[in-house]
Each structure stands twice: as C-alpha cells, then as structure tokens.
Amino acid sequence: MSTPIGNLGDMTLRALAVLQQVAVICCEDTRQSRPMLDRFGLGTPTLALHEHNEAAMTPRLIERLRAGESLALISDAGTPLVSDPGARLVDAVVAAGLRVVPVPGASATLAALVACGLTPHPFTVLGFPDRKGKAREDMLALAARLPHVVVLFESPNRLVDTLRDLAGIAGAGRQVAVARELTKHFEEIRRGTLEAVAAYYEEAPPRGEIVIVLAGATAAEPSEDGLRATADAMRAEGFRPRDIVRMLMDEHGASRNLAYRLAHDT
C-alpha cells in the first residue's frame, strides 16, 4: 500500500484503516516507518522486509497468510515495488493463489508527471540508473531514445552527472524536468533543457529526493551529439564500422550519410 512521500496529509483514510486492522506491517525499514505510524496512533506490529532479507522472509510470510493472517506491505515512502522492495513477496503471494489487494495513494512518479510540464502519457519508469558501467550506459541510452517521457530517480550527489550524461546522448537541448522534495516544504520543479538544468544544479547543489522526467525523443531529428556518443561507445567495444552504421540507422533513426560519417569518424 502507498504511504506519504513527505506530506503526512497525503495518508488516505483507507490506508489508515487497513494498517490498523492487519496482523503485521512489512516495512522497508522499521526505523523509518515507526515514527510515521506513531504519528497516526498505529500500534500494529512491524517487521523489516528489504532487499537483503526478502528471499528468506517470503516463505514465512506466505505461511502466515495461509494461516489466515492479513499483512500490509509498505516502503519507506510512496508505493512499494516501484524501485522499492516487495516484488518477490507479491509474486509469491500470487503464485500461491492468495489475494493481493492494492491500496493506492501517494506516488513520486505520478506527482512528478503531473507537474513536469511535459506530455505525461505514455511514460516509462526506469528507476535509478546504475552508478557506472555498461548497465548505466544502456539505461541512459534507452531513456534517450524512447519517443515518450521517461521517469528516472536519482540521488542529489549524482544528479548533475546523470543530467550531463543524458545531454551527451540525447543532446543538450532535450527538455527535462527535475522534481525535488515533492509534497514537502522545499518542493521544487526545475524545467528546461538538460544543459540549463544541469548548469543550475552545478551552481545550486540539490538536496532531498529527486525525480527526473525526460522528454521523449523526436524521430525526425535524432541528436548528432547522441549519435556520435553511441558510435564512439560501440567503436570502443570493438564493433566494426558497418555494424555501427546499421545500429545508428535501424535503432536511432540516423540518415545513411550521417551514420556512415560517424561510424568512420575517428
């Protein structure tokens, strides 16, 4: 079930009723959840369910459900499973033929989409990029080439690097919105090009929880900067020029002449 992402006024009446009635509340971090539960006068027992113990805890929780108990699953804030633990447990509950009841509420993803100033549908949520390596490159390349808005999460200390990396792939002029501290006192929505927003946060280092909403790619005008970055990365990995040409044309919409030039530009 969803819990507030900052403003406790976003807790729903239904969520409060469910949290009061269940036998136990599974929390991403009981130390984070207990103060919130105490604010609402909820004394329901809690247990920790996170990425390090979810595999071990899931069979025990399934047995409790089979015995007739009801459990609630919450993350530290917002909606579980969306870049938070819980998917393994939900999959096991479904596989066991038991009931999963969603209790909707606050969501950083939806709040950011509503306020981003970009067409919010369709959209893809990719979550947190890896800190480095090929997995990070692949995710950012995917975000840059999708034709609709993409939602990413990022930490404050890596925000500028991620915006700069996206600018290198998608082009410095691609539109983006950075939503910071949503629903909280210092909520901020910063909109503009990747270059401008990155420059702003270089001068004003951000704090708090951050959601990035990247505008979709326009097929008619693939970014030459992004195409060059893709060609350079493929060349470094040992791809032959003809393979680079094919990838730039088929996957990124480059013209034959441009793809050929970038593939052979050393």
d(CA 160, CA 202): 7
- Its CATH architecture, for the domain 108-214, is 2-Layer Sandwich (3.30)
What's the pLDDT at 82?
78
pTM of this prediction exceeds 0.85: no
Assess whether the region 8-95 and the region 108-214 belong to the same CATH fold. Answer: no
Using one digit for the tens of pLDDT, what is the confidence trace for 36-90?
Answer: 999 999 999 999 999 899 999 999 999 999 999 999 999 998 998 877 788 999 9
Judge: domain 8-95, CATH 3.40.50.620: no
Pairing verdict, β 175-180 and 123-127: unpaired
Query: What residues form DSSP beta bridges with 214?
Result: 150, 176
pLDDT < 50 positions in the chain: none
d(CA 256, CA 249): 7
d(CA 266, CA 86): 47
Q: 193-228: string of b/e by CB count within 10 Å (b at 16+)?
A: bbbbbbbebeeeebeebbbbbbbbbeeeebbebbbb
Type of residue at 29? D
Domain limits, the chain: 8-95, 108-214, 224-264
